[in-house]
A and B are shown apart, each in its own frame.
Chain A
Amino acid sequence: MARTDLSIELTGLALENPAILAAGVLGTTGSSLKRIADSGAGAVVTKSIGIEPKPGHPNPTMFKLGCGFLNAMGLPNPSYKEFRGELITAREGGVPVIASVFGAHPDEFSQIITGLDGADAYELNVSCPHASGYGAAVGTDPVLVTEITKAAKQAANAPVWVKLTPNVTDIVEIGEAAQKGGADAVVAINTVRGMAIDIHSGYPILGNRFGGLSGAAIHPVAVKCVYDLYQALDIPVIGVGGIANYQDVVEMMMAGACAVQIGSAVYDSINIFNEVTAGLARYLADNSMELDDIIGMAHRKVGR
């Protein structure tokens, strides 16, 4: 039997499959990104890169809960100047490398993108929930999101994706702001604000006190956000949030995602990308369908 074709064209990039490594996970070094490319990811996103070196928040920065993971890394990164070499190494993996970028205002995004030339696409992090002055601090303001996206588009010689935060009243408004700024795609969602307290001592556990929830707990939140964005936007939606198996991928695509990103699930298996793409191919073959048949299927079933 011929292997089911999972290849997609996403904002002008050719991907062998739609399973992408999410930002912030195993993306600190080029060799780590290469390893994930070798383990079957269709593309990889780097750790978010900024202007200056940042050590991030004090530990604990991440731990597992019964329902998912809490993290507050605090955007640790060596600066875009130091990261250039890692990007070159990462591209040896043979899959598109998307540079995740964070800044406090449009000029910073432009500077980083210009200085981090050579990425296959740029993903604007306007959604990290726990870095003061960055991430969701700018990504909850639709006017700023449009301005940042415009500036990034001007600076970039490659597609620009905008990663959205769910920690807003209406994610569609922010998605529309990104589209208005010229975004080639939106990525939904980043982590959901959360916190855990040690009952033995009363201390918040995360070094930053609060952080972002990822994993299974946020999957239904992400599905709803992707569903709403697909309905409202004309640009592609990339779905991320609690994807741990091929069934989650199928569900996210039925909500409207044309590709997915996987993060926390590498905890269970570093081979997760091979696993979900094999499952997805089998699912499509068993149901005599192609990827296009499932993308947005839930909308068509109920009438868009």
Chain B
Amino acid sequence: MKPRNAIITEVIHETPTITTLKMDLKLEALPGQFVMVWVRGLDEVPMALSHPDAITVQRVGEATNVLSGMQVGDSIGIRGPFGNGFELEGTRIMLIAGGVGGAPLLPLARLAYAKGLDMTTIVGARTGDELLFEQQFSQCGRVSVATDDGSKGYHGFVTELVNQFDLESFDQLYVCGPELMMKGVLDILQAQAIEARSQFSLHRYFKCGIGVCGACTIDPSGQRVCKDGPVFKGDMLIYSELGKYHRDATGKKIVQERFEDSL
């Protein structure tokens, strides 16, 4: 499809670096599906839908910088929704959201709440003022907070807080956040042999976004993050490149930076 025209109807500054853009488009999407967002004349980037009519953007590069500065009345191009989203399973679930990783998890929390599921959400960020959707998640279930600097909630990494829960008691765990946070969570689940009960939303460099070009495939399965994912089951990821390396726009392997730098 050609990009659909979307006019920004509301700009919400969620944190100092994260902005939600509401659009005049309502997309029927599964939680965890994504759209390709075209900043005309500049670039097109994949973004999670945080609401049926909104994307939530963290300022990390040129395109997201421009998006973060958009005003009501500005417009962008939207293709999608694409990919496979999260699947709700069981009755007692945990959501683990690091940084802007909360964006694809919020629609899942809302759906789980509507279905009456018992839900615990862990929200993590570097600092208290960077916590995303803490209030929205707390409207859907229990919330625990972790911050790297201890300015709010648990003082430490998300993975340390996760370790304090009886993870066996959850039917399914849903994770999205920085790569090494996700890898840390996966390691914890694997140590308890419950990785099959988890779903992770991955990020990789996307070009086509529709499963043809192959820029976003992961090793060793050759699965396409844009089409076979972005959500994958934990047991599928155990022996994968997750947390070890990813590829840049040329296809070259980039070894993952240190854990602390990635959170």
**Which one, B2, B3, B209, B222, contacts A29 given CB within 8 A?**
B222
B42-50, B102-110, B165-173: which one contacts chain A? Answer: B42-50
Q: B37 → chain A, closest Cβ, in Å?
A: 10
Q: How many A-B contacts if CB must be within 8 Å? A: 139
19 A-B contact pairs sorted by A residue (CB < 8 Å): A24-B213, A28-B213, A31-B222, A35-B223, A47-B214, A54-B250, A59-B38, A59-B45, A62-B209, A69-B212, A71-B208, A73-B207, A76-B251, A198-B2, A198-B3, A201-B5, A201-B40, A201-B75, A264-B212
**New contact pairs (4) apart from A31-B219, A205-B38, CB-CB < 8 Å:** A62-B212, A71-B208, A78-B252, A82-B251
A60 to chain B: closest residue by CB: B44
Known: A35-B222, A201-B75. A59 touches B250 (CB 8 A): no
Tell me whether B114 is interfacial, beta carbon within 8 Å.
Answer: no
Instruction: Determine if B72 is an interface residue (Cβ-Cβ < 8 Å).
Output: no
Q: Is B248 close to A, CB under 8 A? A: yes
- What is the chain B residue whose CB lies nearest that of A35? B222
Chain B 20-54 residues near chain A, CB threshold 8 A: 36, 38, 40-45
Chain A nearest CB, measured from B3 CB (Å)? 6
**A200 and B252 contacting across the interface, CB-CB below 8 Å:** no
Contacts of A264 in B (CB 8 A): 212
Size range of the chain A interface in the assembly? 35 or more
B77 on the A face (CB < 8 A): yes
- Residues on A with C-beta less than 8 A from B231 are none
Contact, CB under 8 Å: A25 / B213: yes
Whether B222 pairs with A61 at a CB distance below 8 angstroms is no
**Cβ–Cβ contact A56 & B222, under 8 A:** no
Q: Mark A254-288, 1 if CB is under 8 A from B, else 0.
A: 00000000011011001000000000000000000
Inter-subunit contact B210/A73 (CB<8 Å): no
In the assembly, what is the distance between CA of A263 and CA of B214, in Å?
11
Q: Is the CB–CB distance between B208 and A47 below 8 Å?
A: no
Closest 6 CB pairs of A and B: A35-B222, A59-B44, A55-B249, A62-B208, A200-B5, A26-B214
Shortest distance from the beta carbon of A88 to any chain B beta carbon, whole Å: 13
CB pair A62–B251 under 8 Å, yes or no, is no
Q: What secondary structure prevails in chain A residues at the interface with B?
A: loop
Please, what's the 1-or-0 string for B71-106, where 1 marks a CB less than 8 Å from any CB in chain A?
000010101000000000000000000000000000
Contact in complex: B217, A26 (CB < 8 Å): yes
Q: Are B217 and A32 in contact (CB under 8 A)?
A: yes
A13: CB under 8 A from chain B? no
Return the contact of A58 from the options B43, B206, B224, B247 (Cβ within 8 A): B43
Q: Which residues of B contact A33 (CB under 8 A)?
A: 222
Instruction: State which of A35, A63, A77 has its C-beta within 8 Å of the C-beta of B250.
Output: A77
Complex CA–CA separation, A14 to B140 (angstroms): 59
Taking a contact as CB atoms closer than 8 A, the residue among B79, B211, B248 that contacts A55 in the complex is B248
Decide if A65 is an interface residue (CB 8 Å cutoff). Answer: yes
Contact across chains for B213 and A64 when beta carbons are under 8 A apart: no
Complex: how many Å from CA A196 to CA B77?
14
| Interchain CB contact (< 8 A) of A34 among B213, B222, B247 | B222
- Cβ 8 A contact of A28, one of B43, B77, B215: B215
| Shortest beta-carbon distance from A126 to chain B in Å | 21
Contact of A64 among B1, B40, B249, B252 (CB under 8 A): B1
Distance of A35 Cα from B222 Cα, bound (Å):
6
